[in-house]
Structure 1
Amino acid sequence: MLTHPTHERLITLGLTGMAKAFEEQRRSPDLDTLPFEERVGLLVDREAAERDTKRLTTRLKFAALRQSACVEDVDLRTPRGIDRSIFARLVGGEWIDRNENLLITGATGLGKSWIACALGQKACRDNRSVQYHRVPRLFEALALARGDGRYGRLLKTIGRIQLLILDDWGLSVLNPPERRDLLEILDDRHGRASTIVTSQVPVEHWHDVIGDPTLGDAILDRLVHNAHRLQLSGESMRKQNARNQTLDANSNP
């Protein structure tokens, strides 16, 4: 079957969604009964949906989230200290509009990274810019950027992101360059953008992780005072999942 010239023109103009919908309408005789305005509306709706999908794909690629998590899949039934009403407000995202932060703490295996990535994915769906970093690797990237002249540009990029996720904070005491890097990042973002931090270390011990009283006060002043908190507790989700898989395997001969 020869390609319709209108279909080719739509593709040339970059209207791939409309082109797909146009072909679908040509192959569906039932749509001939629809009024002209409705058929055009279907074309426009398809183009809008196609563009939304492309933008979301681009945002998710830029975000580089560690886990493919979404808020609809977050387990709120297992006792972990997650208040449903508070989590619902976090999912709503108004705190990001207010440039507030979120601190997620708790022992390993409780799903801190999963929750952070799920909120990041929701922010991408809400047309916000997001970027995920494991803190140790971020410091490595900043050290390399300092050496090859990209440091200022990298800090500027991080400062503009609407939601920055700093995962695995506090695994070791910061050295002097890392303290300065963290202060620069948080100072650029303070009152202008939101940051999620996940850590196994309770917030009251973060001064010890920073390792310098003066810089510690400056860093925590920009991070903690306008922050929401999720303090997770209970049994490791990894252990529970492993136990459930073992039970399933034993129950299926």
Structure 2
Amino acid sequence: MNNQTIEKLRSLRLGAMARLHLEHVQQNRFGEMTCDEYLSLLTDHQWEDRENAKIDRLLKQAAFRQNASVADISYSGDRNLDRNMFARLATLDFISRKENIIVCGASGTGKSYLCQALGHQACMTGTRTLYAVTARIFKKLRLSKVDGTYLKELEKLTKVDLLILDDFGLQAFDIQDRETLMDIIDDRHAKRSTIISSQIPVSAWYEVIGGEGTIADAILDRIVNSSHRIDLKGQSLRKGILKQE
């Protein structure tokens, strides 16, 4: 009967429950548990297994470059990173409010790590997240216009609950990049949250986007006005790592 039960659990795709039940049968570890307690034990085990699988899937789909963690963030005085403010952001309330985050700072100050730490935190709570280098996502969307999949690729970006655009503004924008950025931001505005990191200060973004002023104004209005701002300071963290090595 136990073998039949285990096979039925497996056929119902309740593999974790089946494995735990098999362990208890083989080792006779039922103890003094009531039927309700044992059922609760099996159910909790299956639920935790599926949640862990979901998190693993979200982390893989997010395509992070670093295994960043909120717990490992440095708040040294010269970074200009307020612990209380970042802790509030790490609760991810900004996602439920459909707000954005802008992280600026010189190369090596840890912008990407901060963004990915928040992204990792989002995945842990079941939030669909995607990390992308801005120039690469533009290139991918440019190619999608050639093969006719542009709207499909754009829809994928729209459905992601948290989109992280890293290294924003490192390359000059042409007319296609401006239109692509406008499409991304406009589709996500007041619907989803976006985190943008850049070496370029926000005050210079208008010139970076370039082109007709109307498009730049529309983009910045949708990004900046609904964003939390982090301006990192200090020396490159990479230099510190090299010195330690």
Q: 1:214 deviation in Å?
A: 2.0
TM-score normalised according to structure 1 size: 0.92
> 5+ unaligned residues in a row in structure 2: which ranges?
none
Deviation per CA, 1:16-45, whole angstroms, max 9, x where unpaired?
Answer: 110122123224444322222111111000
Cα distance in 2 between the residues matched to 1:47 and 1:73: 30
CA RMSD of aligned residues (A): 1.4
TM-score normalised according to structure 2 size: 0.95
Per the alignment, residue 156 of structure 1 pairs with: 155
Cα distance in 1 between the residues matched to 2:33 and 2:206: 67
Per the alignment, residue 140 of structure 2 pairs with: 141
Per the alignment, residue 43 of structure 1 pairs with: 42
Cα distance in 2 between the residues matched to 1:161 and 1:61: 14
Cα distance in 2 between the residues matched to 1:27 and 1:232: 57
Cα distance in 2 between the residues matched to 1:151 and 1:179: 15
Per the alignment, residue 32 of structure 1 pairs with: 31
Per the alignment, residue 3 of structure 2 pairs with: 4
Deviation per CA, 1:229-251, whole angstroms, max 9, x where unpaired?
Answer: 11111111111122123xxxxxx
Per the alignment, residue 73 of structure 1 pairs with: 72
State, as a whole percentage, how many aligned pairs show the same letter. Answer: 39
Letter in 2 for 1:32: G
> 5+ unaligned residues in a row in structure 1: which ranges?
246-253
Equivalent runs, 1:55-204 vs 2, <5 Å: 55-77=54-76, 79-204=78-203
Letter in 2 for 1:31: F
Letter in 1 for 2:243: R
Cα distance in 2 between the residues matched to 1:33 and 1:49: 23
Deviation per CA, 1:189-235, whole angstroms, max 9, x where unpaired?
Answer: 11101000000001100111101222111110010001001111111
Runs in 1 of length 4+ with deviation above 3 angstroms? 27-31
Per the alignment, residue 218 of structure 1 pairs with: 218
Matched length: 243
Letter in 2 for 1:65: F
Deviation per CA, 1:70-91, whole angstroms, max 9, x where unpaired?
Answer: 2122223464111011111110
Bigger CA drift: 65-74 or 173-182?
65-74
Cα distance in 2 between the residues matched to 1:69 and 1:25: 38
Cα distance in 2 between the residues matched to 1:24 and 1:241: 47
